[in-house]
Amino acid sequence: MDTMAQPPPKAAAATKRRRVLTAPPVWRELLLVVLFYTGYTLTRIVLVQDGTGPAFAHADQILGVERYLGLDVELHLNQTLLSVPWLARAANIFYATMHFIVTLGVVVWLYRYRPEHYRWLRTSIMIATGMALIGFWLYPLAPPRFLHSEGFVDPVTALHSLGLYASDASGTLTNQYAAMPSMHAGWSLWVGIVVVKLATQKWAKALGALYPVTTVYVILSTANHYVLDAVAGFALVGGAAWLSWVLYVRHPEPIIMMRARIAHGIASRVRRGAGEPSPGHVPSAAAGVTAASGATRSSYNSGRTSQPA
């Protein structure tokens, strides 16, 4: 009976360590990003609830909680922003564009210059974004700019400015009641974590720290989100980042074993489909896992690439 030679433990460990610490092929990541974001966007649209009653009821709940806690600063920020038209126009453009441009730019930078951190950080933002869809579904929420009776004003319509929902088409093709949690806030925190942790230049770290603060100010003052939206977005991304770090860096054994099992299962099905006999000896998925784990953590702590920010 044929047997399949098992690679030496050190070789298996080194192979698994490289897979954890190196970035995947760029074509696969591009395809993954396109498919994930398309699915995320389409799902947001599909999750629009029948009628807007629940969304406005939830808005009253959020404002009630914030007033009780003394966190209802949105109206003051909105009125202050509108008193400075040029700043309001800049905030509208920032809200419409930076959410995508900055996040995508940091993903590319991370892939190119910090590949040893790419997998766990990419996975963290995908987990958080996927989980956010549950919030959009279970808790539709009308943004403050829809609450004219409370005194809120949409700076995009008031100033006839460029903005994310400036046209009827853009408003129709998005779910404007997907506000809880705020992924503008969540993604900005993710960007801040990446840049502050991994950039080498002090000015880059400073920008990374300021970016989430600026984003939160913009989403509140333009009346697109509540304070609790931002808190929920921060909590979601922070939790997802911690979970991903534990799985990929602190204790990568489950990830390594899962990949080995999936790869073996696919290979077995291909062999069966080709009519080839199954090998009599199947290499253990856990071979070299312990060594790979130690090597992974060691490389994570000492193998950072010294590249300019």
Instruction: Give residue limits of the domains in the chain.
Output: 75-265
Predicted TM-score (pTM) above 0.85: no
Position 306 scores a pLDDT of 45
Q: Give the integer Cα–Cα distance in Å for 287 and 260.
A: 10
Q: Output the pLDDT for position 226.
A: 96
**Per-residue pLDDT at 207:** 96
The two tokens of residue 12 are: 């298996």
Residue that has been written with the tokens 């080194």 in this structure: 14
Q: Which residues contact 3 (CB under 8 A, 6 or more apart)?
A: 279, 280, 281
Residues in contact with 280: Cβ distance below 8 Å, sequence separation at least 6, in sequence order: 1, 2, 3, 4
Dist. CA 159–CA 221, nearest whole Å: 14
Q: Tell me what pLDDT residue 9 has.
A: 45
What pLDDT is attached to residue 26? 66
pLDDT of residue 68: 95
Cis peptide before 279 (omega within 30 of 0): no
Quick one: the chain helix, strand, coil %, rounded to 5?
70, 0, 30
Q: Which residues contact 111 (CB under 8 A, 6 or more apart)?
A: 23, 26, 29, 118
Segment-wise mean pLDDT, segments of 10 residues, the chain, 309 residues = 46 49 66 72 60 86 95 96 95 92 93 89 91 88 93 90 57 73 95 95 96 97 96 96 86 65 70 60 47 50 49
Cα separation, 53 vs 305, whole angstroms: 52
Which pLDDT score, from 0 to 100, does residue 67 have? 95
